[in-house]
Amino acid sequence: MRLFHVSEESDIEIFIPRIPDRDDLDKSVGLVWAIDEKRLPNFLTPRNCPRVTYHKNSYTTEEDSQKFFSSPSVNHAVVIENNWYEIMKKTKLYIYEFDCSNFKLQDETAGYYVSTVIQKPIAKYVIEDLFGELINRNIEIRITDNLHSIANDVKRSSLNWSLCRMAYAKNKIQEVN
């Protein structure tokens, strides 16, 4: 297993555990967050870029596969808003790799791992072409004017999904249950 942290910062030498903002986590324990390699594409966008990401799992129906993917050979998609296209073309990301021995699984579906101790990266990779990196990983890239519609649809699907930075999304619509 490989674990990573994605950042727009080029010079991180150590990762110090931070108290989480999320209310569902213990605020008395600082954490260093990492993502597994399977879900790494969910973070190959600018930090504040709102996005809907999803991938197939063993329970994904054929109907959902056909509805959410343009090709049977694709298993993972990243959807961004059209106003982020130019920003994403110009963004450079730094991927820090960790020794995974001090991490524990925090969320299996999301691929999140956490550590309570200071982490020093074992490697750093630079990604200058985010679209090219996603394409090389066989990730379907979708660009839309409204993330909320696809977010509502994917939440009702049989896919594994993640909604990131949706507070920054434009064209908000009411969620349909």
In whole angstroms, give the CA distance from residue 87 to residue 143.
Answer: 13
- 36 φ, ψ (degrees, to nearest 5): -80, 170
In 37-175, at which residue ranges do the beta strands (DSSP E only) sit? 51-55, 76-81, 93-98, 104-107, 112-115, 123-127, 140-144, 160-164
What's residue 172's pLDDT? 64
Which residues make beta-bridge pairs with 144? 81
Domain assignments of the chain as residue spans, ordered by start: 3-168
**CA-based torsion, 143, 149, 155, 159: positive or negative:** negative
Q: Rounded to whole angstroms, how far apart are CA atoms 140 and 172?
A: 23
If one counts every other C-beta atom within 10 angstroms of the C-beta of residue 92, the result is 12
* Per-residue pLDDT tens digits of the chain, which is 177 residues long: 999 999 999 999 999 999 988 888 888 899 999 999 999 999 999 999 999 999 999 999 999 999 999 999 999 999 999 999 999 999 999 999 999 999 999 998 889 999 999 999 999 999 999 999 999 999 999 999 999 999 999 999 999 999 999 999 986 654 544
- What is the DSSP pairing of strand 51-55 with strand 76-81? antiparallel
- Number of Cβ within 10 Å of residue 106's Cβ equals 16
For residue 93, the one-letter residue type is: L
pLDDT of residue 177: 47
- Find out whether 161 and 54 touch, Cβ atoms under 8 Å: yes
Q: How far is CA 7 from CA 134, 156, 159, in A?
A: 16, 31, 27
Among candidate residues 116, 94, 95, 93, the one with its CA nearest the CA of residue 104:
116
